[in-house]
Amino acid sequence: MKLLLSGLLAYAGSFATSAAQQSGFGGQNAFSAYDDGLFTPVGDLSALSSTEFTTLSHPAFARHKVRVKQSKFCDGSVRAYTGYIDIEARHLFFYFFESRRDPDTDDVIFWTSGGPGASSSLGLFMELGPCRVTSANETKRNPYGWNDQANIFFVDQPVGVGFSYAEYGESVATTKDAGDDIAAFMSIFFEHFTKFKGRALHLAGESYGGRYIPVFASAIYDNNPRLIEAGLTPINISSIMIGNGCTDSGTMYPSYYRTRCEDPTFPPTDGISDCVRMKQLVPRCEKRYQESCVDKFDMIDCGAALEFCESAVGTTYRDLNNYDRARPCKGLSITECYPIIQHITNFLNKDHIQSLLGVDPVARGRGFQWNSMDINMAFWETLDISSFPAHYYIAALLERGIRALIYVGATDFICNWMGNEAMTMGLEWSKKDEFRREPLHVWTIKGNQIAGLTRSGGGLTFATIVGAGHMAPYDKPIESLELANKWLAGEEL
């Protein structure tokens, strides 16, 4: 799991204290301002300027403002927007693209990418956005962008990631703190651009998003009663979509042994003696993790348990791509395996691109970096990376009727399919038996082309994507888009 220190892992988060306090609900005075007609929505995105920001606010969210402008780039066939979520001295950068099919009726997707500390620009320009960066100087249209049938956000968070920044050095070090402003942002957006009110919202993310996204969704769900109390339209949170998530360390650590030595879909990557050694140590890892990080949380004992599990089964490959066992790549630097990441970095560091996007001078002076190691280390120091119980949030969302899709590129190692399947099979909610009794079966595209294995029940779907690694939409764009579109439409795989 320490490969996350340099990895491309996705993330999202939650409220640190009550949603009413964190989202800036100002009590009766704020509600009265809304009731008295002091709030006037912008109405339609087309009203936004392409040369300067329009500032959005709402009396029910006193601490939050949203700056947004049209930004004509990436794919000229749809309207694109960029801007900042301003929370006093903190500023989160975002992109928004309208749907290619029908922006007036299609659902909305919120996407966040990795790390913790990786910019969502990677998801946009490498995987599922309307275009891909092909060199430091140009992009090309991505025919398999997930805005095929959905409007989609890409947000750089937590603060300090990508073009997001804090004026006085504020930082975030836990999943719960990372997303404390997302519910307010979505509420302001939906209230101003009224055609989106009531539209289904799907929260999606990759890798570390396995921890972030369930908590984001929970924050939005829990905030809805306060929106109703304030006279606002509740957000129609419909589902979560997690790709190659590292959600539960309790199932992921044992899966490293299984993936290396017992994966029925891939040849063993380690020698017999190494596999025997790891097999003996797996029960000790599981026991120590359960006792020190789950049954109770003791910072020192849990840290020691994690160190033991790392040394026992968590060692990363030296001669294989840790994000895709089927595509050899020596070294731990992800940019060596995926040169497109360096292309994205160079592209977003060009002055005219930053000017077009409306990047603030502070962020421009700092320069774009695809991954913040300061954020990553901060999450390690709090043990959030290895001990936060995000899978409990998934189960709680399922209990409340929020659907969940867990999809995994089958050749990923670092957040592999075996660990994710074990996580889904261990979730506890009232309809768990509907899911557990279903056997894995093949799902296909184009009639009979095998795309992977899947299991569904009780609102939960687990799916693998054959031939894909950690960044599944990059490796298998056709299959990934088919999966996303079926999910949005509520169709079975």
**Could you tell me if 274 and 191 lie in one domain?**
no
482 lies in a domain?
yes
Report the number of distinct structural domains present in the chain.
2
**Could you tell me if 391 and 274 lie in one domain?**
no
Of the candidates 220, 217, 240, 218, the one whose C-alpha atom is nearest the C-alpha of residue 232 is 220
**Could you tell me if 147 and 7 lie in one domain?**
yes
378 lies in a domain?
no
Of the candidates 86, 54, 69, 40, the one whose C-alpha atom is nearest the C-alpha of residue 192 is 40
441 lies in a domain?
yes
Give the relative orientation of helices 299-313 and 272-289 as an angle to the nearest 10 degrees.
170
174 lies in a domain?
yes
Residues making up the chain, counted from first to last: 493
228 lies in a domain?
yes
| Inter-residue contact 465 to 410 (CB < 8 Å) | yes
Q: Which residue has the tokens 């309207």?
A: 79
**Could you tell me if 284 and 160 lie in one domain?**
no
Give the CATH number, domain containing residue 447. Answer: 3.40.50.1820
**Could you tell me if 108 and 214 lie in one domain?**
yes
Sign of CA dihedral 22, 302, 310, 289: negative
191 lies in a domain?
yes
Q: Which domain holds residue 45?
A: 2-250+387-489
Of the candidates 396, 406, 479, 469, the one whose C-alpha atom is nearest the C-alpha of residue 431 is 396
Active site amino acids? 207, 412, 470
**Residue that finishes a domain, picked among 261, 283, 316:** 316
**Could you tell me if 215 and 285 lie in one domain?**
no
Q: Which residue has the tokens 């990441």?
A: 341
- Residuewise pLDDT in 10s, the chain (493 residues): 444 433 333 323 332 233 333 334 444 334 334 444 556 788 788 889 999 999 988 888 888 888 999 998 898 889 999 999 998 888 999 999 999 999 999 999 999 997 888 999 999 999 999 999 999 889 999 999 999 999 999 999 888 899 999 888 777 777 777 666 788 888 888 888 888 989 999 999 999 999 999 999 999 999 899 889 888 889 999 999 999 999 999 999 999 999 999 999 999 999 999 999 999 999 999 999 999 999 988 889 988 999 999 999 987 887 789 999 998 886 567 888 899 999 999 999 999 999 999 999 999 988 898 988 788 777 777 777 777 889 999 999 999 999 999 999 999 999 999 999 999 999 999 999 999 999 999 999 988 999 999 999 999 999 999 999 999 999 999 999 999 999 999 998 9
Residue 154 C-alpha from the chain's centroid: 9
**Could you tell me if 133 and 45 lie in one domain?**
yes
**Could you tell me if 25 and 137 lie in one domain?**
yes
**Could you tell me if 213 and 139 lie in one domain?**
yes
Q: Could you give the CA distance from residue 34 to residue 165 in angstroms, rounded to a whole number?
A: 30
**Could you tell me if 183 and 278 lie in one domain?**
no
**Could you tell me if 162 and 53 lie in one domain?**
yes
How far is the CA of 170 from the CAs of 104, 180, 195, 219, 384, in angstroms? 38, 14, 35, 21, 18
**Could you tell me if 140 and 279 lie in one domain?**
no
Q: Could you give the CA distance from residue 217 to residue 238 in angstroms, rounded to a whole number?
A: 9
Q: Is 42 exposed, middle or buried (0-12, 13-18, 19+ CB in 10 A)?
A: middle
